[in-house]
Amino acid sequence: MNSLYSLIKNKASELKGYSVKLRRYFHQNPELSLEEYKTASKIAEILSQFGIDVKTVAEGRGVIGLLKCKGDGKTVALRADTDALPIQEENQVPYKSKVPGVMHACGHDAHIAMLLTAAKMLVEFKDKLNGNVKFIFQPAEEVGEGAKMMIRDGALENVDFIMGIHVWGSLDVGKIGLRSGAFMASGDFFEVIVKGSGGHGASPHLTRDPIIASTAIINNIQTIISREIDPLNSAVISVTKIHGGEAYNVIPEKVSFGGTIRTLKEEVRRKIHERFTEMITEVSKAYRCEAEVKVMEKFAVTINDPSMIALIRRISVELVGEDNVIEHPPVMGSEDFSYYAQKVPGAFIPLGVRNEEKGIKYPHHHPRFNIDEDALPIGSALYASTAIALLREE
């Protein structure tokens, strides 16, 4: 193993207790998207203690740290997201969330801890590197707003590469997943209002029933996927909520429904958006109703740079062994890391945290989601080693 990476791996293992302490602190003190003020303040305090230049951005909810190494060179950005979810935690652990109805059920607490630990290590190695390391602690990933805010406030200024890690509940602890090219889907949300003319349930012929129209629309938009998209191109339209009517004997004036559209190619995304609006409008007319359609673009396709993935593959093999580095399939979940990777070469890496023997088996966004903390040193070492490799141009 490369001696410097060996030092990083050993140092990350030595700092496991530190990483666990950080992770548990943030787990106990979660904040929802766009409310991460205390989280940002704590992160800024820790980075400042390391001697890293710190700037608080995103209206006090995000943090950018800059570590200047010994000489001129490239700038590598390492990113962690910081927001929690509106979920009541059901884990019975000493570090259970102290905030009712709010929980780090997606592992962002681990991301914060791993990146802070990596920052602590990189400070010690800065005299061996040329260039800079930028630490990006981003709010509001869950609502698709944070990356845009951080980019607006200068997170990518002078940045040459960016890398992020996400703990992965379906991947066993000790494993690292890699995917070159399209890795995570675009994620768009939609709201539809179908307006008709209500009346008595006993006299439907005197109404323009928006419930019947909505049923036809929901069935028909699925044919966009099954009949208009190449079967080799993954895409999803899911209606996830619907509301209409209040009484058993009243046909309502309107029905509303909403959901999500996911794709792995931008051209497929555009085609679906076009046909989606067109089909809803025309099917609604066929039932003598009117439709209002709103599509909200939240997440772009996350595309991993092939050269960065090749580099991280070599590092990962050194850290966990070749048998524990897997080719990960693309997933239809979404990430706003995608917006960074649109602007500079980027790599977004899934890190295994599942351990059924410890009862750690629940999916992300579940009230019993948890991680095997043995993953923390691996993530910290991967963050730090990636920065070192890019700054040494290996």
Q: Do 225 and 325 fall into the same domain?
A: no
Q: Do 310 and 170 fall into the same domain?
A: yes
The CATH code of the domain that includes 40 is: 3.40.630.10
Instruction: Report the C-alpha gap between 97 and 81 in whole angstroms.
Output: 18
Last residue of a domain, one of 299, 321, 355: 299
**Are the beta carbons of 319 and 385 closer than 8 angstroms?**
yes
The CATH code of the domain that includes 237 is: 3.30.70.360
Q: Do 290 and 315 fall into the same domain?
A: no
Last residue of a domain, one of 299, 326, 350: 299
Q: Do 22 and 69 fall into the same domain?
A: yes
Q: Do 166 and 41 fall into the same domain?
A: yes
Last residue of a domain, one of 299, 319, 351: 299
Query: How much is the pLDDT for 6?
Result: 86
Q: Do 273 and 336 fall into the same domain?
A: no
Residues of the chain with pLDDT under 70: 1-2, 393-394
Host domain of residue 230? 186-299
Query: How much is the pLDDT for 394?
Result: 44
Q: Do 363 and 314 fall into the same domain?
A: yes
Contacts of 127 (CB under 8 A, 6+ apart): 69, 70
Query: How much is the pLDDT for 1?
Result: 53
Q: Do 271 and 378 fall into the same domain?
A: no
- Condensed to tens digits (0 to 9), the pLDDT of residues 328-377 reads 999 999 999 999 999 999 999 999 999 999 999 999 999 999 999 999 99
Q: Do 226 and 261 fall into the same domain?
A: yes
Q: Do 180 and 101 fall into the same domain?
A: yes
- Each as own residue / partner, the long-range contacts of residues 95-103 (CB below 8 Å, 24 or more positions apart, any chain) are 95/24, 95/27, 95/28, 96/27, 96/28, 97/27, 97/28, 97/29, 97/30, 98/28, 98/29, 99/29, 99/30, 99/31, 102/30, 102/31, 102/32, 103/30, 103/367, 103/369
Number of structural domains (the chain) is 2
Instruction: At 371, list the tokens.
Output: 């991680």
